[in-house]
Structure 1
């Protein structure tokens, strides 16, 4: 490759990254608007990218940069996401909740896959949505997608579906809260056990005050913690299948080690050996969400609107049914 071709390649990569950053910025601003704020920038980013592709086409000249955001930046965001997980809090106060969290994951995935088989829904989408429902929504889907080797458009569709449906359920929880015969701590646990993403849990838990929100986030953190053993289990399953069916090897998701390292750093190093201010941590959290939104834009550009009509309808309906049964089951075990 001569100098001119290298220069063109580098420019295409940087332009593609900048393009996803621009759409991510637009998504952040739109997500501040009333009503849209409940959906969050991740889902907004995917929807904007899908609309862009539908009306303007895929920007193939900057494909390399878009792929960089969709793959490399996605892994970086998952690593940084580890800072949100406080292992110390889970160990000190959340072990009984962790047992219930462990139950939620196989329940959600198993039920989603049973329904998918019964109604002949798309397997890949149903599996990703089931994992997102059981663990932590879009972040879980993004983390397991490289392990399962699913198509980028499947990842994007799954994130969009679970973000929108999860938001609807979170709003429904806030409406139901004053009508339920349980205290605010129990309500918080219920929200943390059953809602899809951390943002959804925060949305539903905030009206219950500090005590309710605290219990909601604690219950949710246990499910986030279980993302690591679930991912390792999926790696083992995929390696076993690859040996039985083909010579293709499953690459270990090394970015998960970064996720664990950041979790350990935030839980046991920060505040003991060094002290990072709350403002800096908030800034890192915002940066993490922004990078993840850039990745979602990159993924969203791979989705055509026809995919929503032909492949996503059944998984979306089954997600609603699975979420309803999960909400009922976790309410009964409080």
Structure 2
């Protein structure tokens, strides 16, 4: 009776697509949970991204790595990550940077150079991992997690390295942001000077600026403008690293150094967001989406973190970054007051 009937089988393409999609959905679900938990006391200080990474690390080291979803998780940690960086470009208002002039960009460039130089110097002295330390130096000097996410593919960083770097930079950034908020009324600085100080030395907003957007002047005296300048300089910095590594043939990396084409998308979205009449509500929605996708990508990376390796790998680079953060804060303060 069944003669003439052809039994259908799932195509290989469909079979491959299913775990890929489920893996991406898994990272989105964890990121959603991390975002929800980040509104709780204490966790509201560290933010959704770090909370999502912590959930991913906790899952990996208790339940285990979901091998069946590996393709989708890796897709989130690589492709979704790059797409989030492209969307992140909408946060960058180039017109604000042009209006503030070259002097602010010079301060920002000095902050980036100092952060990377001090981090790498201390890392060399204490024997910290070079690549993880460099990621932390870039994150400290530029704009935290987004800068690490942009630089990691160029440096051919391991997924565990990237996740550890993002977690450390988010944690240390939170500590310094709270310290800045505590010291604000105790420092002999005007609101404008304090804004410039936080803008050129903090990679994360202090609590008084937590809800500020690139097009708002809600932070005192140009804090947002200072951060915009550092985000702007992330593009030439990462391109420079990519070109330098390609010329060296990846001698100190693992071989094929990818060119960061996603940064071209970042530049394009920056130009679109700056010069095209896009409604503010839509820009805010895109900004929120970019942050959520970045958190989802960090979940994909965080699932590769082994707690057994964390102490050995993280402590020395973190010490180098903490030293660089203190030096940057002090140098920025004396630059502004003298």
d(CA) in 2 for partners of 1:266 and 1:12? 35
Say if 2:305 is the partner of 1:303: yes
Q: Which residue does the alignment assign to 2:247?
A: 240
d(CA) in 2 for partners of 1:306 and 1:5? 37
Q: Which residue does the alignment assign to 2:151?
A: 144
Measured after TM superposition, the shift of residue 7 of structure 1 is 2.5
d(CA) in 2 for partners of 1:313 and 1:24? 26
Larger radius of gyration: 2
Q: Which residue does the alignment assign to 1:9?
A: 16
d(CA) in 2 for partners of 1:98 and 1:3? 56
User: Taking structure 2 as the reference length, what is the TM-score of the superposition?
Assistant: 0.91
Alignment of 1:80-119 (within 5 A): 80-119=87-126
Q: Which residue does the alignment assign to 1:160?
A: 167
Alignment of 1:222-241 (within 5 A): 222-241=229-248
Work out whether residues 50 and 171 of structure 2, in 8 Å CA contact, stay in contact via their aligned partners in 1.
yes
Say if 2:191 is the partner of 1:184: yes
Structure 1 residues 17 and 199 mapped into 2: Cα distance closer, same or farther (>3 Å)?
farther
d(CA) in 1 for partners of 2:178 and 2:49? 18
1:291-319 deviations in Å (ceiling 9; x for gaps): 10110000000111112111101111222
Q: Which has the higher helix share?
A: 1
Say if 2:229 is the partner of 1:215: no
Partner of residue 321 from structure 2, selected from 307, 319, 322 = 319
Q: Which residue does the alignment assign to 1:44?
A: 51
Measured after TM superposition, the shift of residue 290 of structure 1 is 0.7
SS in structure 1 at match of 2:41: coil
Partner of residue 251 from structure 1, selected from 258, 282, 289 = 258
Structure 1 residues 222 and 201 mapped into 2: Cα distance closer, same or farther (>3 Å)?
farther
d(CA) in 2 for partners of 1:205 and 1:264? 20
Q: Which residue does the alignment assign to 2:4?
A: none
d(CA) in 2 for partners of 1:196 and 1:306? 29
Superposed CA RMSD:
2.1
User: Taking structure 1 as the reference length, what is the TM-score of the superposition?
Assistant: 0.93
Work out whether residues 209 and 219 of structure 2, in 8 Å CA contact, stay in contact via their aligned partners in 1.
no
Q: Which runs of 5+ in 1 are unaligned?
A: none
Structure 1 residues 204 and 94 mapped into 2: Cα distance closer, same or farther (>3 Å)?
farther
Structure 1 residues 200 and 314 mapped into 2: Cα distance closer, same or farther (>3 Å)?
farther
d(CA) in 2 for partners of 1:325 and 1:282? 34
1:242-271 deviations in Å (ceiling 9; x for gaps): 176799442211110000000111112x2x
Work out whether residues 177 and 205 of structure 2, in 8 Å CA contact, stay in contact via their aligned partners in 1.
no
Q: Which residue does the alignment assign to 2:3?
A: none
Measured after TM superposition, the shift of residue 4 of structure 1 is 4.2
Q: Which residue does the alignment assign to 1:331?
A: 333
Structure 1 residues 3 and 265 mapped into 2: Cα distance closer, same or farther (>3 Å)?
same
Alignment of 1:114-129 (within 5 A): 114-129=121-136
Work out whether residues 181 and 207 of structure 2, in 8 Å CA contact, stay in contact via their aligned partners in 1.
no
Structure 1 residues 200 and 104 mapped into 2: Cα distance closer, same or farther (>3 Å)?
farther
Work out whether residues 191 and 205 of structure 1, in 8 Å CA contact, stay in contact via their aligned partners in 2.
no
